[in-house]
Structure 1
Amino acid sequence: MMRRGSTTVIRSILTTTTSPRGFSTGADKAVVTWWMRSSGGAARNASTVALGADKEEQRKEETVVNGGGEERKGNDNKEITSYWGVPPSRLTKEDGTEWKWNCFRPWETYQADLSIDLKKHHKPTTWLDKFAYYAVKSLRLPTDIFFQRRYGCRAMMLETVAAVPGMVGGMLLHCKSLRRFEHSGGWIKALLEEAENERMHLMTFMEVAKPKWYERALVFTVQGVFFNAYFLAYLASPKLAHRITGYLEEEAVHSYTEFLKELDKGNIENVKAPAIAIDYWRLPADATLRDVVMVVRADEAHHRDVNHFASDIHYQGRELKDNPAPIGYH
């Protein structure tokens, strides 16, 4: 049997000979070894518990110092410590289930307004409007030839282009706001919101249409050309750039209308809606591809209105910052 007084002595020695960070010193280990040899199994158990407590305390201390961040690696959950102490957020849905999307958050979801007028059209009157209109129309011909009636792939290509104007416009307005030390009237947020919404369209249709290697290569080419061309157009004339985007969104509305017709005819299978679309647009659990196309088309119509509105502001000789931006319009 181990005497109570001896246990107290060992505990006292362990306490006084432990380094500030919780590591046992050489004297500590020597005393424990001697006691194990002289006191048998009970002493071994006591020393094991003491050293185990030391290691647990050390682990807790390092977790506190390093921030205690956790990261998912493979199929196992492993605790990853980080000096910066930035823990991942743990979010749940309204029903209590885990939120599995990292690309958007629950408060960024919404129910699309399907009552928007899909037939609205800005009739080109000035030569700048006509240039924008026919420039967009000229892009439709090669698209029709390349994709024909493969509307899933067409939608994928469309969204890789449609997400560019909002990002370019928001970026240039951001830089302008910094240079002039002035507010943007909310237009930076509105345009970046548009770009993010278009990107979510792409993430959705990536689940529906699996692009082939040459279609991915085409995206590289088209996006590279369009980004630089639109960047220069926005620098030269924001009213032209927004008008181009307005007409581009009109074409998007037309494309998704044709998509719906093919779905209704049965030429395209009306498969179950991707999970990411159900959560992003707050669709019912049994939603289908047709429901997804409906809400995406409504989004495009809202973007059409915003960009034609922005172009009209410039045509009236005013600046965007002087007119409240339609944040959250979609």
Structure 2
Amino acid sequence: MSEPVSLDRTHPPSGVSDQFARAFTRLLRFFADTFFAQRYGHRAIVLETVAAVPGMVGSTLQHLKALRNMSDDEGWIRVLLDEAENERMHLLTFVEIAKPTRLERWLIILAQGIFYNLFFMLYLISARTAHRVVGYFEEEAVISYSEYLAQVEAGHHENVPAPRRAIEYWNLSPDARLTDVIIAVRADEAGHRDVNHAFADQLGARA
């Protein structure tokens, strides 16, 4: 049996690269808190469209690197592709729970266009920093989903039935509710957090 993922694990910043990654993450968290406040379902929709970008960017660049070097990728490509797919499933699930507004759809286009290019350039400049950014993103995601879960359990948001898509993807019980979905998504984010911090550590050790 696999060991449960810790929800409160954090990575203390060490060095300029980590400090930059943490500051960048806190800046984005500020904008998310300002725009969405406690509209957690809508926050999840917009942020998951951004969260699905790093895995695809990282897998693409790791693939090209492996081709250039004619070397093995050590399994990174598949892990990052799986991460991107997992984040996309988060998005599709929450689209069924909290219908995005027209403004949010435009915000998604804008945010994705800006973030994709920024993250692509960051990965080219420093893959270590890029993975650390994702690790810190996911730390914040765990916090946000924990807050969302508390809000639902307190009755501030309706604990609606889980979408069929979520039940099938996470193998939830047929009578699963929103709280079960949030718990499953939060565990995914904690896993992505640990993987990306580990990748950043490995890249740092090679430098």
Q: TM-score interval w.r.t. the shorter chain?
A: over 0.9
Bigger Cα Rg: 1
- The partner residue of 2:9 within 104, 120, 125 is 120
**Shift, 1:225, TM fit:** 0.6
Q: Could you say which residue in structure 1 is the equivalent of 2:36?
A: 147
| Aligned length, in residue pairs | 206
Please say if residues 155 and 205 of structure 1, whose CA atoms lie closer than 8 Å, have aligned partners that are also in contact: yes
Q: Could you say which residue in structure 2 is the equivalent of 1:307?
A: 196
Calculate percent identity across the aligned residue pairs. 52
Counterpart of 2:183, as a letter, is: M
- Note the alpha carbon deviations across 1:252-306, whole angstroms, 9 max, x for none: 0010000001001100000000000000000000000000000000000000000
Question: CA 1:264–1:114 in structure 2 vs 1: closer, same or farther (change >3 Å)?
Answer: farther
**Shift, 1:114, TM fit:** 8.8
Q: What secondary structure does 2:31 align onto?
A: helix
Q: Could you say which residue in structure 2 is the equivalent of 1:240?
A: 129
Q: What secondary structure does 1:183 align onto?
A: coil
Q: Could you say which residue in structure 1 is the equivalent of 2:94?
A: 205
- Note the alpha carbon deviations across 1:23-42, whole angstroms, 9 max, x for none: xxxxxxxxxxxxxxxxxxxx
**Shift, 1:315, TM fit:** 0.8
What aligned pairs does 1:209-220 form with structure 2 within 5 A after superposition?
209-220=98-109
Counterpart of 1:119, as a letter, is: D
Please say if residues 114 and 298 of structure 1, whose CA atoms lie closer than 8 Å, have aligned partners that are also in contact: no
Provide TM-score, normalisation by structure 1: 0.61
Q: What secondary structure does 1:285 align onto?
A: coil
- The partner residue of 1:133 within 5, 22, 26 is 22
Please say if residues 114 and 294 of structure 1, whose CA atoms lie closer than 8 Å, have aligned partners that are also in contact: no
**Shift, 1:181, TM fit:** 1.4
Q: Which one scores higher on RCO, CA 8 angstroms, separation ≥ 6?
A: 2
Counterpart of 1:157, as a letter, is: V
Q: What secondary structure does 2:206 align onto?
A: coil
Provide TM-score, normalisation by structure 2: 0.97
Q: Could you say which residue in structure 2 is the equivalent of 1:226?
A: 115
Q: Could you say which residue in structure 2 is the equivalent of 1:63?
A: none
**Shift, 1:115, TM fit:** 2.6
Unaligned runs of 5+ in 1: 1-112, 319-330
Distance (Å, rounded) in 2 between the aligned partners of 1:185 and 1:127: 27
Distance (Å, rounded) in 1 between the aligned partners of 2:63 and 2:204: 21
**Shift, 1:188, TM fit:** 0.4
